[in-house]
Amino acid sequence: MAPSKTTEIRDTPFVNEVRLSARHWILALGILAAVALLTPALWKRLERFQTGADYRIPYPLSKDYWLYERRLEQMDPTNVVLLGDSVVWGEYVRPDGTLSHFLNDQSGRSGKFVNGGVNGLFPLALEGLIRYYGGPLRHRKVMLHCNVLWMTSPKADLHTEKEERFNHADLVPQFYPRIPCYRADLNQRLGAVVERHFTFAEWATHLQIAYFDQKSILNWTLAQDGGDPARYPNAYKNPLAQITFAIPPEPAGDPERGPGSPRHKPWSATGEGSTRFEWVEPETSLQSAAFKRLVKLLQSRGNDVLVLIGPFNEHIMAGENRPAFRRIRGEITDWLTQNEVACLVPETLPSVLYADASHPLTEGYQMLASRIFSDETFRKWFRAR
């Protein structure tokens, strides 16, 4: 009897795959490119972004650079934009107590001067903000604030070798010039560079900042409430419900700012200071070099630039520390004059009108605006087309 034959069944794995041809790959990449390009543009039409004469980027949205660029796009070509750090933004005052507000009062034209300051900036970051997000500023009048506070020590100048954490790290030069105290890893540096040139990434960051407490959706979902035991209030929330298509406004009654705030007070009861700053010379200062590059950048874009130097609070300094400050301020003025940049050096405000080394109080901004408008250099610059 012949032996029975058994059928051999091979163990062949089941593979459910789709192989794309070159044509399909091109189509898929085209769809992704269209989504990446069109989504941010469409979002601007859907999202409500209401601004007024005294609008400034709210403090919680300080790192929303996509929103900052969008703000610049909304301006009228005849607006004058004030650029700078928290001195321009108004650290201790409300929106109606800022320099731009009182300049509008002086001009008699509401909204003529626009608050383009951002809280937490410094020259190295401001240069990056305008270079990568300030395109809409081209061919406009610009008032640029020069705050010598960033040259008061090697630490403020970001010149120390010890690692330091600072605001707006994504805006500073990631590779060159080297910032000694900046120790971000390669992944973070490359991520910052990519976001500057990829609008979809800027928009994604905007969503995180505006709607998810500056977190990714995953981290927002896992955020703790700080209690003991810890709870996760967002764990079962629908993330899409967070997106309201409306930019969060600045609080109407911010307890941290304005005449009713405990922070809104003179820096000293006596007005006599003894601070000794470790001034960094302009020729070696990283912040000074960034400021000069920014001036050149604005000029190359057709901006009519006027630089406002200070007014820094000289009252806070020890007497022997002031000559170095005035010499450095003079060197900055000389450089601006040599490069044909109009500049103002207003006199120091009364001591009681400063909250600290560089920030005026509400009355200080009002006096500063009055002095600026009475200055012939400013009046000539302001009237010129």
> What's 299-368 look like in SS3?
HHCCCEEEEEECCCCHHHECHHHHHHHHHHHHHHHHHHHHCCCEEECCCCCCHHHECCCCCECHHHHHHH
pLDDT in tens, 304-314: 999 999 999 99
Q: Is 301 exposed, middle or buried (0-12, 13-18, 19+ CB in 10 A)?
A: middle
Segment 138-145 shows an average pLDDT of 96
- For residue 1, pLDDT over 80 is answered with no
Higher pLDDT, 134 or 231: 134
Q: What share of the chain is helix, strand, coil (3-state, %, to 5)?
A: 45, 10, 50
Segment 107-130 shows an average pLDDT of 95
| pLDDT band (50, 70, 90) for residue 25 | confident
pTM over 0.85: yes
Q: What is the mean pLDDT of the chain?
A: 92
Segment 131-147 shows an average pLDDT of 96
For 164-232, list the strands marked E by DSSP: none
Q: Which residues pair with 141 in a beta bridge?
A: 80, 304
Which CATH number among 3.40.50.1110, 3.30.360.10, 1.10.760.10, 3.40.50.2020 corresponds to the domain 54-184+246-383? 3.40.50.1110
Is the peptide bond between 173 and the residue preceding it cis, with omega within 30 degrees of 0?
Answer: no
Percent of the chain's residues with pLDDT above 90: 77
| pLDDT band (50, 70, 90) for residue 12 | low
- For residue 57, pLDDT over 90 is answered with yes
| pLDDT band (50, 70, 90) for residue 11 | low
Please choose, from the candidates 380, 381, 372, the residue with its C-alpha nearest in 3D space to the C-alpha of residue 305. 381
pLDDT in tens, 286-333: 999 999 999 999 999 999 999 999 999 999 999 999 999 999 999 999
Higher pLDDT, 22 or 292: 292
Segment 191-217 shows an average pLDDT of 93
| pLDDT band (50, 70, 90) for residue 234 | confident
User: d(Cα 254, Cα 56) in Å, to the nearest integer?
Assistant: 14
Segment 24-31 shows an average pLDDT of 85
Would you list the domain boundaries of the chain?
Answer: 54-184+246-383
User: d(Cα 108, Cα 237) in Å, to the nearest integer?
Assistant: 49
**The amino acid at 261:** S
Answer yes or no: are the C-beta atoms of 171 and 62 closer than 8 Å: no
What pLDDT score was predicted for residue 359?
Answer: 97
Segment 278-282 shows an average pLDDT of 95
